[in-house]
């Protein structure tokens, strides 16, 4: 029997993942969710359009992973814990192979990140995946963009540049080796949302943002929201390994600074918390690098080893 909207939902999206607090999940007009006492609901949504945010020929499982993880990264940036999500799916056709692969990958991801699919919407049209993610954060403890002060130290987790470098994979004539390709594809389709880091930073970081548009742009959001500026030491940038095999140093720096899609956290730390944060980093609780300082004067600038401002070219928006 061909799939209709309701059999499709029942078959592929009725029970994915687990999370406490679901009084009523998929199947009614609304889901009913219990937010624990003393917690605030952190809510975010991100839409991926085929041919714009991922290549038209991307595997269904890869698309599911990316769609979920970019949303989880927003929760991480707030210091929130994933709980529930809804899925608005627009499909050109009810392709059962695509749906089976998409739903299996989404289920596995949901289990990995301890969140549950509680509802959604299914329509016909150009392939578009929109996930709305909900998480919990103790009231008043979320990491916002607006809490930084002049003199706060700027950190980034992990390493930068691979998200933008991964776009090379989709460029005709790409000559990267198999290992590098695999690594960049992982980074693109399976970015690692820094959830554990976000939770640990509650009470230590004064502001945080996840890096989806490029370090300078996203740090710019912290600066603007906090009424400040920022200075980044170019030499301190944690460039991703592999990058040197993809392009020269100057290109790698541009990818790291203005490329985007890295889904690392950029956060600020007041001087009095710096020792505690550095101790967490030294104890290998998480990987992060101090890259600069917030300034009272507005504007986000990169400085070279001599403290001279460096102009960074924009990479601009890339279509597939
Ligand atoms: P309504 O018309 O009342 O909005 P729908 O007929 O669109 O409800 O959906 C029926 C049920 O299936 C609802 O509980 C909705 O949340 C759920 N649902 C629809 N599409 C999806 C999807 N892609 N993933 C998960 N749940 C879905
Ligand atoms: Mg209804």
d(CA 312, CA 73): 26
**Measured between alpha carbons, how far is residue 45 from residues 143, 221, 237 in Å?**
18, 18, 29
pLDDT for residue 289 is more than 70 = yes
Among all bound ligands, the one having the nearest atom to the CA of 131 is 1
Residue 212: what pLDDT? 94
- Closest Cα to atom 14 of ligand 1: 27
Q: What percent of the chain shows pLDDT beyond 90?
A: 81
Domain 6-138, classified CATH 3.30.1330.10, yes or no: yes
| Per-residue confidence band for 320, with pLDDT thresholds at 50, 70 and 90 | low
Atom of ligand 1 at shortest distance to CA of 16? 25
pLDDT for residue 317 is more than 70 = no
Residue 134: what pLDDT? 98
Condensed to tens digits (0 to 9), the pLDDT of residues 189-198 reads 999 999 999 9
- Closest Cα to atom 8 of ligand 1: 29
pLDDT for residue 1 is more than 60 = no
Alpha carbon of 123 to ligand 1 centroid (Å)? 10
pLDDT for residue 215 is more than 50 = yes
Condensed to tens digits (0 to 9), the pLDDT of residues 26-78 reads 999 999 999 999 999 999 999 999 999 999 999 999 999 999 999 999 999 99
**Domain range annotation of the chain:** 6-138, 153-310
Atom of ligand 1 at shortest distance to CA of 89? 23
Atom of ligand 1 at shortest distance to CA of 26? 14
pLDDT for residue 315 is more than 80 = no
d(CA 295, CA 150): 5
Topology adopted by domain 153-310: Phosphoribosyl-aminoimidazole Synthetase; Chain A, domain 2 (3.90.650)
d(CA 237, CA 243): 13
Among all bound ligands, the one having the nearest atom to the CA of 11 is 1
Q: Residue 284: which residues within 8 A CB-CB, separation 6 or more?
A: none
Contact 71, 46 (CB under 8 A): yes
Mean pLDDT of the chain: 94
27: left (phi over 0), alpha (psi -120 to 50) or beta: left
Tokens 């950029």, located at residue: 266
Beta bridge partners of 33: 22
Beta bridge partners of 42: 135
d(CA 299, CA 133): 32
Give the residue-averaged pLDDT of 153-178: 90
Atom of ligand 1 at shortest distance to CA of 28? 14
d(CA 43, CA 45): 7
| Per-residue confidence band for 2, with pLDDT thresholds at 50, 70 and 90 | low
Residue 314: what pLDDT? 67
Q: Comparing C-alpha atoms, which of 266, 253, 268 is closest to residue 310?
A: 253
Q: Comparing C-alpha atoms, which of 78, 22, 297, 82 is closest to residue 208?
A: 78
Q: How many CA atoms lie within 13 A of 216 on its CB side?
A: 23
Q: Residue 156: which residues within 8 A CB-CB, separation 6 or more?
A: 211, 215, 238, 264, 265, 266, 267, 288, 289, 291
Residue-wise burial string across 258-268, b where 16 or more C-beta atoms lie within 10 A, e elsewhere: bbbbbbbbbbb
Q: Between these two residues, 172 and 108, which has the higher pLDDT value?
A: 108
| Per-residue confidence band for 316, with pLDDT thresholds at 50, 70 and 90 | very low
Alpha carbon of 11 to ligand 1 centroid (Å)? 12
- Closest Cα to atom 1 of ligand 1: 29
- Closest Cα to atom 21 of ligand 1: 120
Q: Is 122 in the pocket of ligand 1 (CB under 6 A)?
A: yes
Q: Is 186 in the pocket of ligand 1 (CB under 6 A)?
A: no
pLDDT for residue 172 is more than 70 = yes
pLDDT for residue 271 is more than 80 = yes
Q: Is 27 in the pocket of ligand 1 (CB under 6 A)?
A: yes
**Residue among 31, 64, 102, 122 whose CB has most ligand 1 atoms within 8 A, to mutate:** 122
pLDDT for residue 3 is more than 60 = yes
pTM of the model: 0.94
Q: Residue 309: which residues within 8 A CB-CB, separation 6 or more?
A: 301, 302, 303
Among all bound ligands, the one having the nearest atom to the CA of 119 is 1
d(CA 299, CA 145): 16
d(CA 230, CA 26): 45
Give the residue-averaged pLDDT of 194-203: 97
Q: Is 119 in the pocket of ligand 1 (CB under 6 A)?
A: yes
Give the residue-averaged pLDDT of 163-185: 86
Collapsing DSSP states into helix, strand and coil, what is residue 305? Answer: coil
pLDDT for residue 149 is more than 50 = yes
- Cα dihedral across residues 296, 301, 302, 306: positive or negative: negative
């Amino acid at each position: 029997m061909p799939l209709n909207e309701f059999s499709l939902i029942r078959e592929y999206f009725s029970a994915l993942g687990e999370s406490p607090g679901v009084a009523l999940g998929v199947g009614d007009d609304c889901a009913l969710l219990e937010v624990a006492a003393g917690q605030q609901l952190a809510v975010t949504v991100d839409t991926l359009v085929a041919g714009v945010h991922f290549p038209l020929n991307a595997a269904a499982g890869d698309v599911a992973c990316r769609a979920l993880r970019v949303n989880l990264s927003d929760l991480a940036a707030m210091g929130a814990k994933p709980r529930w999500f809804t899925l608005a799916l627009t499909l050109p056709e009810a392709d059962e192979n695509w749906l089976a692969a998409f739903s299996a990958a989404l289920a596995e991801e949901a289990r990995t990140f301890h969140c549950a699919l509680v509802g959604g919407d299914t329509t016909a049209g150009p392939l578009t995946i929109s996930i709305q993610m909900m998480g919990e954060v103790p009231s008043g403890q979320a990491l916002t963009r607006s809490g930084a002060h002049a003199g706060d130290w700027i950190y980034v987790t992990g390493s930068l540049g691979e998200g933008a470098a991964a776009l090379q994979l989709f460029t005709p004539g790409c000559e990267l080796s198999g290992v590098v390709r695999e690594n960049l594809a992982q980074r693109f389709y399976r970015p690692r949302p820094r959830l554990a880091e976000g939770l640990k930073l509650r009470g230590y970081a004064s502001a945080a943002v996840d890096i989806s548009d490029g370090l300078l742009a996203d740090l710019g959001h912290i600066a603007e929201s906090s009424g400040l500026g920022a200075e980044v030491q170019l030499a301190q940038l944690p460039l991703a390994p592999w990058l040197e095999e993809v392009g020269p140093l100057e290109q790698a720096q541009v990818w790291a600074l203005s490329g985007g899609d890295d889904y690392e956290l950029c956060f600020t730390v007041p001087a009095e918390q710096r020792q505690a944060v550095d101790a967490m980093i030294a104890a290998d609780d998480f990987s992060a690098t101090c890259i600069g300082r917030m300034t009272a004067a507005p504007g986000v600038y990169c400085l070279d080893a001599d403290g001279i401002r460096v102009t960074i070219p924009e990479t601009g928006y890339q279509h597939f």
